[in-house]
Every structure is written in structure tokens, then in C-alpha cells.
Amino acid sequence: MRIFLEQFLNGLTIGSFYALVALGYSMVYGVMKLINFAHGDLFALGSYLGYTVLVIGAGWITQVLGVWGGVAVALTAAMLGIGIAGLVVERIAYRPVYKAGRLPLVVSALGMSIFISNGIMAIWGPRFQAYPPDAIPSAILSFGDIKITVIKLVTLIVSLGLMALIYWMVEKTLFGAAVRATALDRDTATLMGIDFRKIILFVFFVGPALGAMAGVFAGLNYGRIIFNLGWTYGLKAFTATILGGIGNIPGAMIGGLLLGVMESLFEGFVSGAWKSVFVFLVLIAILIVRPTGLIGEKVAEKV
């Protein structure tokens, strides 16, 4: 039981990273019908930005503002920075290629992904970088014989809270309705007076910013980061997106959390080495039964 609960919590934590990154994939896909392969690398870049904030001047920010203050600054800086990076990526790598069709867009996205991950390597080096231990809140809470680090608890609360906020924003506000309407039918949305260019800016800012948050939290939880972090997380998050049904906001969250928990439980009770195989097999099985994911809409092509 203890193992189950611990693995479940671990799964929720990593699942919340997947979910945050998956949200970015899904938002961009929903509006643009584009798989932003560079998204995973923006996540990694976010992690490095947070790292940089925490190591500047030998941890100056942490010294001045305290551990939690440092964490807050790192999160904010990474989210803002990566949000802007998302807009830049859209502007230089996607907007000029939209007209050329889907396949060139995929290659452009892959190119951007390679560019960013190798850019990280060029700047911060090919080896693992460690988040400074002084900057990571180190308290541990115990509930009976279950131990949980405070940072993990905060990660969960903040991630789930932010997801709830995004959910509320997209599903419950007029602005969110405008985003969903644009994703469904751009022409009719225009008739309502919605400027789809603004919606594009929104998804390319908010999606990467959420990813950056996950990136910083991943660094804080696991301590070390590496330049190609984006590939592994990005791939899992993309899987989660498809699992939930791409273009669907609640789908991405559920897909991400589900994937994380499944993976962790499988790791805890069956085998760590085979967990990814298990995840992909589940994905394939689900797609065979439900070709558009768990919550995906039915798409029928009109003939």
C-alpha cells in the first residue's frame, strides 16, 4: 500500500509535467492543426532558464529572497522568457511555412527542435547540470509512513492549480469560448469578430509558458537537467496529448496525469525498464479502439 501511494504520488508529479507540456501541444494543435515538435525543447529551455536564474551570482537571488522567493523568481522568469520564445518560434519557423502545407511544417518544427536542443547544448554544455541544492526547498513531510518532499507537494498543488485555472479560462470564460470557437471554425469565429491572429499569439505564448513551468519544477524535483530533456519529456507529453485526444484541453490534462500514473505504477510493480513500452502499447491499444483518443471528437470527412 505504501509503495502504491508513493508511486501514485510520483506518477501524479511526473504526470503533471506531462500534462502541462501536453497542454501546449494541444492548444497549438487545436488552433493551428500543427504539431509543435519544438515544444518539448522549449520545456527544456525553460528548465535551463530557471536554472540560470538560480545560479546567477552564486545563488544571489536565493540569498536575497530566500529559497521560496528564488523559486518564484525562477518560475516567473522562465515562464515569461519561454512564452516570448514561443512567439519567436511561431514567427520565424512556422508563419512563413503555413502556406506550404503540413509536411514542410513538420520538418520546420523538427528543425526548430534540433536547433533549440543543440542551442542549449552550445550554451550550457552537453553534460548534466545540477540545480543548486541551496535553492531547492528541502523540507520533507511525513504522513504516517508516507514521506513526501515539500517541493513535490508544492509542484503538485501549483501544477494542478494552474491546470484548473487554464481549464476555467478555456472552458468557462468568454475568451476561452473564443479560443475554442477559433479552433472549431475559423471563418465563423471571424464572423463573431474574433481576431484569430490574437488567438494564435495567445496559444503560442501560454502553451510554452506552461511548459517552462513544468521544466523548472522538473529541475527542482529531480535536481539535474540535460540539454535533450525536451526529447524524452516532449515525446511522453505528445503521447499524452494523443491519448487524451489532440486539440482537447481537458483531454491533455487527463492524458498527462493518466500517463504519469500508469507509468509510475508499472514501474513500481512490474518493471522500470519496460515502462515506456507499456505506455506506448496502451496508447496503440486505445487508438485501435478509439482512433481519435479518449476524449477526441469524432471527425468525419464530408464527401
Partner 1 sequence: MADVTRKVTQRILNSQKSRKMPVKIAPVQLVLLAAVIVLLIAFPFFPFVNNYWIDVGFFVGIYVLLGLSLNIVLGEVGLFDLGHAAFYAIGAYTTGILYVKLHVPILALLPISAIVAGGFAYLVTSPIIHLRGDYLCIVTIGIGEIVRITALNNPFGLTNGPNGVTGIGNPDLGLFAIRTPTHFYYYIWVIIALVIIGLLNLQKSRVGRAWNFIREDEIAAEANGIDVRSYKLLAFVLGAALAGIAGNIYASKMMVISPDNFTFMESCLLFCIVLLGGLGSIPGNMLGAAAIVIFPEIFRQFASYKLLFFGAALVVMMIFRPGGIWPRRREGVGFRGLGISGLPKDENEFLLKIPKEAVLVPHGADPAQSTTVKAEVAQEKTINNIVLETQNVTMQFGGLVAVNHFDLKIREGKITSLIGPNGAGKTTLFNVITGIYRPTTGKVIFMGKDITGLKPHTIIAKGIARTFQNIRLFPSLTCIENVMSGPHCHAHSGTWSSILRLPVQKKEERKILEIASYRLNQVGLWEYRNELAKNLPYGKQRLLEIARALATSPKLLVLDEPSSGLNDKETEELMEFLKSLITEGFTLLLIEHDMNVVMGISDWVTVMDMGSKIAEGPPSEIYNNPRVIEAYLGKEE
Partner 2 sequence: MGTLLSVENLVVNYGAVEALKGISLEMQEGDIVAVLGANGAGKTTLLKAISRLVHIRSGTIKLRGEDLSKFPAHQLASIGVAHVPEGRKVFATLTVEENLNLGTWGVRNQINAQEIQKTKEWIFRLFPVLRERRRQLAGTLSGGEQQMLAIGRGLISKPKILLLDEPSLGLAPILVQEIFRVIRQIHDEEGVSILLVEQNARKALGVARYGYILETGKIAIHGPAAQLKEDERVKAAYLGGTRVQPAK
CB-based burial label for 276 (10 Å; 0-12, 13-18, 19+): middle
Residue 274 binds which of partner 2, partner 1, none (CB < 5-8 A, kind-dependent)? partner 1
Residue 195 binds which of partner 1, partner 2, none (CB < 5-8 A, kind-dependent)? partner 2
DSSP-derived letter for residue 90 is I
Reduced DSSP (H G I as helix, E B as strand, rest coil) percent helix, strand, coil of the chain, to 5: 80, 5, 20
Residue 33 binding partner 2, by CB under 8 A: no
Residue 187 binding partner 1, by CB under 8 A: no
Of residues 212-271, those binding partner 1 (CB under 8 A): 231, 235, 238-239, 242, 246
Specify the residue, 9 or 237, whose C-beta has the smaller distance to partner 1: 237
Specify the residue, 70 or 260, whose C-beta has the smaller distance to partner 1: 260
HSE at residue 233, side-chain half, CA atoms within 13 A, is 39
Residue 188 binds which of partner 2, partner 1, none (CB < 5-8 A, kind-dependent)? partner 2
Specify the residue, 68 or 280, whose C-beta has the smaller distance to partner 1: 280
Residue 22 binding partner 1, by CB under 8 A: no
For the chain, what's the residue count? 303
Q: Distance between CA 67 and CA 48 in Å, rounded? A: 18
Specify the residue, 158 or 181, whose C-beta has the smaller distance to partner 2: 181
Window contacting partner 2 (CB under 8 A); options: 160-168, 184-192, 214-222, 233-241: 184-192
How far does the chain reach from its first CA to its final CA, in angstroms?
54
Q: Is residue 2 left, alpha or beta, with left meaning phi > 0 and alpha meaning psi from -120 to 50? A: alpha
Q: Which three cell numbers stand for residue 56?
A: 546567477
Contact indicator for 26, 247 with CB cutoff of 8 Å: yes
Helix (H, G, I), strand (E, B) or coil at 34: coil
| Spatial CA neighbour of 294 closest among 236, 235, 239 | 239
Of residues 76-105, those binding partner 1 (CB under 8 A): 92-93, 96-97, 100-105
- The phi, psi pair for 300, rounded to 5°, reads -115, 130
Of residues 196-235, those binding partner 2 (CB under 8 A): 196
Question: In sequence order, what are the beta bridge partners of 130?
Answer: 224
Window contacting partner 2 (CB under 8 A); options: 57-65, 158-166, 183-191, 263-271: 183-191
Interacting residues with partner 2 (CB under 8 A): 174, 177-178, 180-181, 184-185, 187-196, 297
Interacting residues with partner 1 (CB under 8 A): 29, 35, 92-93, 96-97, 100-108, 110-119, 121-122, 126, 231, 235, 238-239, 242, 246, 273-274, 276-277, 280-281, 283-284, 287-288, 291-293, 299, 301, 303
